[in-house]
Amino acid sequence: MTHRRIITACLALMATMLLAAPALASGAKTFAVVPFTYNGPQKYSYFPKAFQASLESDLEWLGQVEPTDKNMSDITTPSNKADALNSLRGHGLDYLVFGDIAILGKNAHIKMEVVSEDGKSWVQKGEMGLDAITTWLDGQSKTIQGDVFNRPGYGTTQAVMDKEIDVEKPKTPMSSAIIPADGGGYTQDNLNPQFRYEGGTSTAGRWRSQAMRYSSYGMYVADGDADGQNEVFILQKSALSAYRFKDGKLQHLSTFKLPANVMSVRLEVADLNRDGLPEFIVGGYQFESQYGIKAPNGQPRSSILSFEGGKFKYVVKKYSKFLGILRIPPTYMPILVAQKKGQRYLFDKYMYEAFVKGDSISLGQRIQAPPFGSVYNMTYLPQELGYNYVILSNKNKLVTYSQTMERLNESDATFNSSGVVIPTADKMVGMGPGVTEERIMNYNVPIRMITAPLTTKKYELLINKDLSASAQVFNSYHYFTQGEIHSLVWDGVGMNLAWKTRRIKGQVSDIALADLNNDGNKQLCVLVNTFAGIGYGNRKTVVVAYDLNLQ
């Protein structure tokens, strides 16, 4: 009898809770964020929508104060408190958030206001640099949750306490082979202070592979056969090799021969059909005539392969356009991109999304890009409320464009020269076939640029700085005997150095940010061709990996 009463009581309690749940959910207060009034340059006109999306997410207090699911498209930005009260009461809201933004030069002036159903209001104004807008919005969202929504642990008092306790400082990777941007160097107690310690092959935080007897053109670290372990894929002029880290060395797994008359220029890996098994995109160039006093004719020739079961095989054997991968905003998912050869320049001015269909490729919509942007020289650098385009020019200088294609900055130094050169004819379109009307231009295909938030919340651009005495004298010289991997951040004016590796001896041919040794931590991986004088015959390939554990 007692057990029956207990069971009955439990069932009654459960029923009460189930009936109460919808009531509790429906009891949550609601708010809406109206797009802010905007005054400023056209290039930042997306700010009101960006503010709205950001605040709707940041202000949500699950189960207590939540964004409304009603259609608010008919609400205009209130001009005063009375208009705000009429709008929120007319739509059955508890709170309405609105304000205005003015952009003057590099500064933002923001006014944010919250009006509640009982007629109370909260107002905050601020002036900050464009790169500090997101931080300001985050802080005001927490203040509103405490001061307006009465959420415990939030509000003005808590914000002051947090500011006193937590001051974020940029971190530098711990590896002694990496130098902070302020020039703080490596010191040793037993080293003459007049010397600069560069480290050797046994430097802590750096690993170097055995030398491989070929010259390399590209590298990618990925789980190519979907077995849960990463492999290292190295592209040669006419071959693709797979390795795996084992016992401190790279163990050879397989090599696939590519057409001997095609020079490979770029290797990308991405799961194009989202089936869990990645595809290998090999961009190449096929020369159709020999050097003379004229530039050789040639055409792009790309292919796509798979590595299923640890064996390479063609998915698309031959495609007559340049193929590569771009991570396009706002999702930054890898997208296959195609670009045909241009008439005067190597690359056509248009790029298109591409899709694999069986053993062929079809084109989709055109991709917006700044002048001279190509599938191999462009990347997107995420910013707090958008992104910048980063382009490597034909002279391998770093050029930054805003989201609206406004040219912002160009570097003095050159970066990411791979040593892989495609000679082309610099001749006006429509000129005849005469020998004297053209000159040979060498296009140094750039290695990939990588963006990632490594040491701060800001995204960093990982890139190789070209170092060569000969290249400073001869403009057409395209092989660099040394390099340094630089981490650059956009400060609103230019790309500033955050940190760099110590000098790397040899031609840097590619970089990757991946777990090379399958220990669960990503490393900065660098593909290097050793320098043995002019020509490729005596060059060898090594892979160098740097630990990125932050101090």
Mean pLDDT of 373-378: 96
Mean pLDDT of 472-496: 78
Residues 6+ apart with CB under 8 A from 168: 456, 457
User: pLDDT for 88-105, tens place per residue?
Assistant: 888 899 999 999 999 988
Measure the CA–CA gap between 415 and 464, rounded to whole angstroms.
5
* Lowest mean pLDDT across 68-82, 449-463, 470-484: 470-484
Q: What is the pLDDT of residue 394?
A: 85
Q: Which single residue is written with the structure tokens 């981490």?
A: 487
Band of pLDDT at residue 162, cut at 50, 70 and 90: very low
Tell me whether residue 250 is in a domain: yes
Tell me, yes or no, whether 408 and 505 share the same domain: yes
Query: How much helix, strand and coil, in percent to the nearest 5, is found in the chain?
Result: 15, 45, 40
Tell me whether residue 207 is in a domain: yes
Tell me whether residue 539 is in a domain: yes
Q: Is 282 left (phi over 0), alpha (psi -120 to 50) or beta?
A: beta
Tell me, yes or no, whether 141 and 211 share the same domain: no
Q: What is the pLDDT of residue 195?
A: 44
Mean pLDDT of 293-307: 87
Tell me whether residue 265 is in a domain: yes
Tell me, yes or no, whether 420 and 485 share the same domain: yes
Tell me whether residue 461 is in a domain: yes
Distance of CA 167 to the CA centre of its chain: 26
Residue 258 in contact with residue 239, Cβ under 8 Å? yes
Q: How far apart are the first and last CA of the chain?
A: 64
Choosing from 148, 170, 195, the residue where a domain stops is 148
Q: How many CA atoms lie within 13 A of 374 on its CB side?
A: 25
Choosing from 110, 133, 148, the residue where a domain stops is 148
User: pLDDT for 396-411, tens place per residue?
Assistant: 899 999 999 999 999 9
The crossing angle, in degrees rounded to 10, of helices 47-58 and 133-147 is: 40
Share above pLDDT 70 across residues of the chain, in percent, rounded to a whole number: 79
Tell me whether residue 198 is in a domain: no
Tokens of residue 489, six digits? 């951040």
Mean pLDDT of 2-23: 48
Mean pLDDT of 40-58: 83
User: Which CATH number covers residue 127?
Assistant: 3.40.50.10070
Residue 546 in contact with residue 524, Cβ under 8 Å? yes
| C-alpha triplet 467, 525, 377: angle, nearest 5° | 60
- pTM comes to 0.69
Give the residue from 268, 295, 255 showing the smallest Cα distance to 426.
Answer: 295
Residue 327 in contact with residue 308, Cβ under 8 Å? no
Tell me whether residue 157 is in a domain: no
User: pLDDT for 381-393, tens place per residue?
Assistant: 998 778 999 999 9
Q: How far is CA 484 from CA 390, 501, 522, in A?
A: 19, 6, 19
Q: What is the pLDDT of residue 446?
A: 93
Q: Which single residue is written with the structure tokens 């491989």?
A: 212
- Does the CA dihedral 161-165-169-171 come out positive or negative? negative
Tell me, yes or no, whether 239 and 144 share the same domain: no
Q: What is the pLDDT of residue 17?
A: 46
Tell me, yes or no, whether 391 and 252 share the same domain: yes
Residue 36 in contact with residue 42, Cβ under 8 Å? no
Tell me, yes or no, whether 219 and 110 share the same domain: no
Tell me whether residue 327 is in a domain: yes
User: pLDDT for 116-125, tens place per residue?
Assistant: 999 899 999 9
Band of pLDDT at residue 16, cut at 50, 70 and 90: very low
Q: How far is CA 512 from CA 461, 531, 540, in A?
A: 12, 21, 19
Tell me, yes or no, whether 348 and 264 share the same domain: yes
Measure the CA–CA gap between 123 and 113, rounded to whole angstroms.
4
Tell me, yes or no, whether 92 and 238 share the same domain: no
Q: What is the pLDDT of residue 442?
A: 81
Q: What is the pLDDT of residue 423?
A: 83
Mean pLDDT of 40-59: 84
Band of pLDDT at residue 166, cut at 50, 70 and 90: very low
Tokens of residue 166, six digits? 């937590």
User: pLDDT for 227-274, tens place per residue?
Assistant: 999 999 999 999 999 999 999 999 999 999 999 999 999 999 999 988
Which spans in 59-123 are helix H?
Answer: 81-90
Band of pLDDT at residue 210, cut at 50, 70 and 90: very high
- pLDDT surpasses 50 at 189: no
Number of domains in the chain: 2
Tell me, yes or no, whether 234 and 143 share the same domain: no
Residues 6+ apart with CB under 8 A from 112: 36, 97, 98, 99, 123, 124, 125, 126, 140
Average pLDDT, whole number, for the chain?
Answer: 83
Q: What is the pLDDT of residue 533?
A: 56
Q: Can you list the positions of beta strands (E) in 83-171?
A: 95-104, 107-116, 121-129
Measure the CA–CA gap between 477 and 533, rounded to whole angstroms.
13
Mean pLDDT of 34-59: 85
Tell me, yes or no, whether 420 and 533 share the same domain: yes
Tell me, yes or no, whether 277 and 399 share the same domain: yes
Tell me, yes or no, whether 300 and 224 share the same domain: yes
Q: What is the pLDDT of residue 429?
A: 53
Band of pLDDT at residue 160, cut at 50, 70 and 90: very low
Q: What is the pLDDT of residue 164?
A: 42
Mean pLDDT of 317-327: 96
Residue 45, domain extent: 29-148
User: Which CATH number covers residue 288?
Assistant: 2.120.10
Q: What is the pLDDT of residue 27?
A: 74
Q: What is the pLDDT of residue 523?
A: 94
Choosing from 131, 148, 165, the residue where a domain stops is 148
Using DSSP bridges, classify how beta strands 29-33 and 95-104 pair: parallel, antiparallel or unpaired: parallel
Residue 485 in contact with residue 463, Cβ under 8 Å? yes
Residue 479 in contact with residue 536, Cβ under 8 Å? no
